[in-house]
Amino acid sequence: MTETFGAEFLVRWLTAVAEDVGREADRLTELDSAIGDADHGANLKRGFAAVAETLAKEPPGTPGAVLTTAGRQLISTVGGASGPLYGTLLRRAGKALGDDGRVGRERLAEALGAGVAAVSQLGGARVGDKTMLDALVPAVEALPESFAAARAAAEEGALATVPLRARKGRASYLGERSVGHQDPGATSSALLFAALAATATPEGEEG
């Protein structure tokens, strides 16, 4: 029987993301200082902290509503490009899930895929442009296999941005000087899937 997940699982996931982003905020900002505006970590920390607070106060009743609420909160809280991009990712995924009370991993992958497509359209980027999509796309493609596979794919995608030349976003202004730096957006995207795998899998198990 295929395992399914309710709203409470999505709340735990995004709460874990808030904790992980808070812990890694300085590293994200350090990465962003090399090729961006040096605000990625601080912006996401503030945004996901607001998401966790909102979900704790009034937990939505369905997985879709959790993601939609989180996306809306990010868009209203986070400045720069990361708020609209992450907000679009979660809002579009929430819309794709609709009103279903429980979803399986494959359905979640499809919904996140719709979110990733919306992010690509919003930012005009694709895989290889040295953006968050370099982690998001392989992660979503691997998610039907397992949560662990999605986490690994996201981490590999983030590392693969190091030798790339940025073609979109603030980093693209640097041209060749963007080569040799890991993209902060891809790095924070990998945190999303690391938190998802940790939420889905009890410590010490594979999943």
The per-residue b/e assignment along 52-63, b for 16 or more CB within 10 angstroms, e otherwise, is bebbeeeebebb
Average pLDDT, the chain: 91
State pLDDT tens for residues 105-159: 999 999 999 999 999 999 899 998 899 999 999 999 999 999 999 999 999 999 9
Q: What is the pLDDT of residue 7?
A: 97
pTM: 0.93
Q: For a pLDDT cut of 90, what percent of the chain falls above it?
A: 77
More confident: 32 or 22: 22
- As a residue count, the chain comes to 207
Q: What is the pLDDT of residue 172?
A: 62
State pLDDT tens for residues 34-86: 877 889 999 999 999 999 999 999 999 999 999 999 999 999 998 778 899 99
State pLDDT tens for residues 164-191: 877 767 666 666 776 878 999 999 999 9
Nearest to 53 by CA among 37, 38, 39, 70: 70
